[in-house]
Structures are given as structure tokens and as C-alpha cells.
Amino acid sequence: MTTQQLVSEIKKKKSFLCIGLDVDLNKIPQYLLKEEDPIFAFNKAIIDATHHLCVAYKPNTAFYEAYGLKGWRALEKTINYINEKHPEIFTIADAKRGDIGNTSTMYAKAFFDDLAFDSVTVAPYMGKDSVEPFLAFENKHTILLALTSNQGAFDFQTKEVDGKELYKQVLETSKNWTNSHNLMYVVGATKTEFLSEIRTIIPESFLLVPGVGAQGGNLEDVCEHGMNENIGLLINSSRGIIYASNDTNFAKSAAEKAKELQKSMEIILNKKSQG
């Protein structure tokens, strides 16, 4: 999927919502455990109920890898279902990969070729030659961890190196990598005070913003400081939507929560369009 196709979908749905499909078998409705594939059954119900309200889905691969082969098969079935039924939706493999040379190429092939995701999250710590193999895939996007929403982000990401915070150096350096136009960046919703400065470094890039809702991030603040001319934001909500209920009506409850966020986004987009 191209960036322009994503922008078009955002304008069409009046939504820049990304729903995280982080399936924990201890949290899903217990009756689903009787299904042959409870993970996929849960995801399918969520997707069927929310696809018209969001523009992206983001499975965190750890929640599938933890269940071994059956979890990986459930991930494959989930992405295949999205691509078949809703090809207009942007898909994100939240895998946080990153290694040098051929290893990164193999990671990229796993998510881009085999599973056919549109994008994958990548850690930048090992530098250029760990990221460029992902960027080599045409019309695929690499979402670089820049400034994350967790408390531990302050351990390294905001430390000054030669008078400049490390996350800023990551942003600036990455702009010079081959095919950097395929880069997006993770910036946590709990770090809104940094967004204005981030936008001076990467004014045109899309930002994947986790942390709205359960982690305390504020949608209006994120949009005020992070939105650009092409919207440029994917706001992720995982637990706040998919675990809105653990009863038989869980999918309907998820849709209601997604609708709340979508309506708030629509109001913001309408204000933006009116100048």
C-alpha cells in the first residue's frame, strides 16, 4: 500500500484509527476457547465489527509467538483474512525486529513476502545496515522506533549525545538512508510535549502513535502537535477496544469503543478541513 492510498482511506473513513490485535487467551471470552482456533475466532469477530471504523490493524507478534505454531497459524489466518476481505486496510506487523544484513532481509521477507503485511516495526539500535534491508521492499513501510510510550524510554532515547537527544539523532540520521521515503516512526502518545520538535525534523512522515486510552495519552493533544498536511498519524488503541467486554457481546462493545474514537477523529478532521 502506498502512502497516498493510506491518506485516501483516512479521508474516506474520516478515521486514522489503528486497532491493535494483541490476543491474550486469558482475557478473551472463555466460550471462544472451545473454538478450533480461538485466537483467529476472536480476531475475526473484532475485524468484522470494526473494519469500517479503522484504517489499520496492528497485531503484536509476541501475542502469537507465545502460543507456538498454533499462534503463528492464527496470525497467518488473521492477516490473510484482512487482506482478502478488507484490502484497503493498512496492516502493521508489530514485531520490533532489527539485525544486520541478510538477517534483516529474512525478517523482511517473512513479514512482507510470506505474510504480506504492509509494514513492520523495526528497532534502530543497530543502525543503517539493520534497517535498509526492510526499506528495499517497494510499497512496504518500515516503522522505526523513535520515542516510545513506556517509562523506560527515558533510559536511552532522551539522553543527550554530543548535545542532542538520541531520539532526535535517530530521526535525523534515518532521513539519509536509502529509500527513507518508506519510513514511518513510532512516537508514544504519552510524549506529546516532544511532538512539535519531532515534526520540525520529520514534517512529512507518518507517525504510529500508541498509548492513547489505556496508557493515558490524549488524542486532541497528539493531533494538535503531531498532525501534518496529510494527517500523518495512525493512532493505535489495543486493550481499550478489543477488551471492552469479555462477554458474548465483546465484538459489539469493541465496535462501540472504536466508534467513540472514530467520531472524535472525525471532529478533528472536519475542523482541519475548515481551516
Residues assigned a catalytic role: 96
Q: Please state whether beta strands 119-122 and 141-147 pair in parallel, antiparallel, or not at all (unpaired).
A: parallel
Cα dihedral value 10, 270, 53, 230, nearest 10: 20
Question: What b/e sequence results for 94-115 when a residue is b if at least 16 CB atoms lie within 10 Å of its CB, and e otherwise?
Answer: bbbbbbeeeebbebbebbbeeb
C-alpha cell recorded at residue 96: 520490533
**Of 216, 72, 199, the residue nearest 150 (C-alpha):** 216
CA distance 242 to 262: 15
Say how many residues make up the chain: 275
**What residues form DSSP beta bridges with 97?**
122
